[in-house]
Structure 1
Amino acid sequence: MRILVLAWEFPPRIVGGIARHVAELYPELVKLGHEVHLITVECGDAARYEEVEGIKVHRVPVTQGDNFFHWVVNMNESMGTHGGKLILEEGPFDLLHAHDWLVADAAIALKHTFKIPLIATIHATEYGRHNGIHNDTQGYIHSQEYQLAFNAWRVIVCTSYMRQEVERALDTPWDKIDVVYNGIRPEKKELDPQFDYWSFRRRFAADDEKIVYYVGRITYEKGIQVLLNAAPKVLWDLQNQVKFVIIGGGNTDYLKRQAFALGIWEKCYFTGFMPEPDLDKFQTVADCAVFPSLYEPFGIVALESFAARVPVVVSDSCGFPEVVRHTKTGVVTHANNPQSVAWGILQVLQNPDYAQWLVENAYEDLERRFSWVKIAKRTEEIYRQVLAERNQVEW
């Protein structure tokens, strides 16, 4: 099959989880014998065209607009133009695959212009992020998600929870939605054995301090404020021998003020953005990863912690309980409940044998449930189903 993929982020441009998903799924599909062209956004000095692990990557320029939504419109125009040229000059393509609402306009236009079946992966919904649609901005994003799901031949989501959410929020028929988990490459967390463990660790904490960390986007929905509210209980029970490390770019001013007001400022370290090589090292020196999200369709950060062999504490929000099995591969706590999060952290830090058992189970689960090889084969099945159905109908 020849597949044309549209995604607004792809390494080195990494905004959220889509970049990693796209960059790790499609090389496996290439290995299965498929030709994959990916249209994405230019980034720094990255080549306008290159092959990355077999993916033919086309990076298009995007004119800056007056605001983010103007930029999205310009991006879709650029993607649509380049996609049309690509189809005319190097086509035909069997399928289009669009990732999230940001590329919806270009994907829908290419679908109708060239009569190519469209598959959409909905990684999250605006309705879910805000527990409803409350203003015009959210309404616009919601309408784009609706149009993308409506125009898709099939819709792929990352958890069973998201299948329910997409059915409810976007009025998508249940039998049009497929659940395909995200995955991880565990080998990317393997480090040079010459790595100076203690020297690196001392950049973040004293030798007698346990390291509890969050890594991800700095947004309200990620629940970092809940982790900070849980910190005093953890510090009290462990005689102050804990350092809370918050990793992620973005505005952390409100979180720093919260830490100061709670009297835990000296026990918190806000690193800002951390390059991936440093993050890989950091995870090997940490004692507990905490992801207390209020909204989390999947939680690929949990898989990364699995791969780094760090015990994981998560909230029971959305898809997390499908990814992290409570008392088997991690500890699942109640969402937006600092007391519950503190309990989960203490379960890990006060019971090292139990924490190690969780880590071993979690690492085994990566191959069992989150292998990109298996995920690619499941995606291929969906592609073949769409092609078979397309061949039976007149467009």
Structure 2
Amino acid sequence: MKVLLFSWEYPPHMVGGLGQHVFDLSRFLVKQGIEVHIITPRVQSHPDYQEENGVHIHRVGSSYLEGENFKSWTFRFNSDAIREAVNINTRIGGFDLIHAHDWLVAYPGRAVAKIFEIPLVTTIHATEHGRNLGLHNRMQLEINEIEKNLALEADRVICCSQYMQDEISTLFGRPRKDITIIPNGVDPGLFELMPDSPRFNISAQDRIIFFLGRLVPEKGIWFLLNTLPRVLAEVPQARLYIGGKGPMLPELKRLTHKLNLEDKVVFTGFIYHEERNFIYNKARVAVFPSLYEPFGIVALEAMATRTPVIVGDVGGLAEIVESEVTGIKVRPANEDELAQAIIRILSDDNLADSLCDNASHMIASVYNWDVIAQSTIKVYKEILEQRGNKLLNLG
């Protein structure tokens, strides 16, 4: 089977969890015998074509630059992606199926599937409505319409949680039977590599609290900052590391200054895998106080490093974590619950160890990429069989 994946994120171009998902899915599909090609934006100092982990990576267009008109950049990339897909299709003797990841590649996904009359599968990782807790301007309304068309035209929609299945069906009117839930996964082997010379000075006495993700409103990071004075009153050795970048960074730094926490909070900026692994290795707890979260792959990543997790009881995070068993759930925006949960884990090593043991077992049995790849291939085969039966009936 020859499958073409469209994704606007792929290593080293990583913005959120989508790029990591496509990276892991593609290489595990190859392990199952699928020929996988990915079309993704160009990245400086990386070749336009390379084969990595058996995956054929094709980079087109240009890298997105801060301040550039995002709509214009998306249109140019999508146009280049369609041309590249047509060229590759000719060279390899034809694709069997297209798999598009999120709205930014909806146009090439839909167009190429129609050009070659082959099935289209889409994974919708999040919605514009969910990311912004509603639709508030023209751009958001346009993106919502693109998502709706993609969800309705695809032969099958894949999402990562029951929460997302409900959201997609409610927002776009796609029947739930056409939306397959396949969870994200995590590969513990990716968290073993450490930096040769870490740039973060973490002592053995520090009790590290770690947040990692996009610095955007739906992640609820300011609630975590607001709890820190209460945590420090009980655990003076606590320090908060905030990993990632995003539009809320200036506001979060102002809040840190207002709370007089500059010596207790470290903003790492974007961090690469080795640095991420180093901080997880030192962290005593990972906290993700989200207000909206389609899945929450960061929680799985923390579990893979044996770091106890605290999450907002919302969306996919609520489905991943069994409270008091594999982590602790708190009500979204409830700073009292969040502070007490952090203090409990930082003060109780037995509780932390128990959460880590249970979480490790869950990752091995449920969120294993071999299982996820097999579930994805099952969807591919079902769609190809349905499309074949339709053609037979038409004949």
- Identify the TM-score tier after normalising by the shorter chain: over 0.9
- Is 1:213–2:182 an aligned residue pair? no
Please show how residues 285-364 of structure 1 align to structure 2 within 5 Å. 285-364=282-361
Tell which deviates more after alignment, 151-160 or 130-139.
130-139
The one-letter amino acid paired with 1:315 is G
Name the Cα RMSD after superposition: 1.8
Paired residue secondary structure (1:97): strand
| Partner Cα separation in structure 2 for residue 231 and residue 63 of structure 1 | 38
1:190 aligns with 2:186: no
Q: Offset at 1:249?
A: 2.4
Distance 1:108 1:191, change over 3 A: closer
Counterpart-to-counterpart distance in 2, 1:145 and 1:344: 37
C-alpha contact 1:189 1:307 (8 A) present in aligned 2: yes
Q: Separation in 1 of the partners of 2:280 and 2:11?
A: 21
Instruction: Give the TM-score, by structure 1 length.
Output: 0.94
State the 1:43 CA deviation: 0.5
Letter in 2 for 1:15: V
* Contact 2:43 2:62 survives alignment (8 Å): no
Asked whether the 8 Å contact 1:166–1:172 carries over to 2, the reply is yes
1:280-303: CA deviation from partner (whole Å, max 9, x where unpaired): 112111111101111111111111
Matched to 1:39, the amino acid is: I
Q: Which residue of 2 is the match for residue 30 of structure 1?
A: 30
Deviations 1:170-195 (A, max 9, x none): 21111100000001110122257xx9
How far apart are residue 44 of structure 1 and its match?
A: 1.2
Cα separation, 2, equivalents of 1:311 and 1:244: 15
Which residue type is aligned with residue 288 of structure 1? V
CA distance in 1, matches of 2:192, 2:91: 42
- Cα distance in structure 2, aligned partners of 1:106 and 1:185: 29
Partner SS, residue 390 of structure 2? coil
Q: Displacement of 1:27 after TM fit?
A: 1.5
Task: State which of 275, 282, 287 in structure 2 corresponds to 1:278.
Answer: 275
Q: Does 1:249 align with 2:245?
A: yes
C-alpha deviation, 1:241, in angstroms? 2.1
CA distance in 2, matches of 1:4, 1:81: 13
Instruction: Determine the structure 1 residue equivalent to 2:387.
Output: 390
The equivalent residue for 1:110 is: 112
Candidates 58, 78, 102, aligned match of 1:100:
102
> Residue 266 of structure 1: CA displacement?
2.2
Using the alignment, how far apart are the partners of 2:29 and 2:36 within structure 1?
Answer: 8
SS in 2 for 1:356: helix
* Structure 2 unaligned spans of 5+: none
Query: Which residue is equivalent to 1:56?
Result: 56
Structure 2 residue 14 is matched with structure 1 residue 14: yes
- SS of corresponding position for 1:145: helix
1:380 and 2:382 correspond: no
Q: What SS is found at the alignment partner of 2:45? A: coil
Query: Which range moved further: 269-278 or 16-25?
Result: 269-278
The match for 1:81 is: 83
Please, what TM-score do these two structures have when normalized by structure 2?
A: 0.94
Q: What is the one-letter code of the residue matched to 1:101? A: W
Contact residue 63 and residue 75 of structure 1 kept, 8 A:
no
Matches within 5 A, 1:133-144: 133-144=135-146
SS class of match (1:381) = helix
- Measured in 2, the distance between the counterparts of 1:267 and 1:4 equals 46
**Distance in 2 of aligned mates of 1:59 and 1:209:** 42
The question of whether the paired residues in 2 share the 8 Å contact of 1:62 and 1:78 is answered with no
List runs of 5+ in structure 1 lacking aligned partners: none
Deviations 1:21-55 (A, max 9, x none): 11111212112111111111110111111111111
Instruction: Give 1:175's aligned residue.
Output: 177
Equivalent residue, structure 2, for 1:265: 262
Amino acid at match of 1:300: I
Q: Distance in 1 between matches of 2:193 and 2:54?
A: 25
Alpha-carbon separation, structure 2, partners of 1:225 and 1:283: 21
Query: What corresponds to 2:161 in structure 1?
Result: 159
User: 1:233 and 1:172 mapped to 2: Cα distance?
Assistant: 45
Letter in 1 for 2:33: G
The equivalent residue for 1:68 is 70
Give the deviation of 1:112 after TM superposition.
1.2
CA distance in 1, matches of 2:237, 2:259: 17
Aligned partners of 2:136, 2:207: CA distance in 1, in Å? 41
Which of 142, 148, 151 is the equivalent residue of 2:150?
Answer: 148
Task: State the secondary structure of the residue aligned to 1:182.
Answer: coil
Take 1:275 and 1:154, find their aligned partners in 2: how far apart are those partners? 34
Q: Could you tell me which amino acid in structure 2 is paired with residue 280 of structure 1?
A: N
- Identity across the alignment (%): 39
Find the counterpart in structure 2 of residue 90 from structure 1. 92
Contact 2:42 2:63 in 1 (8 A): no
Aligned residues: 389
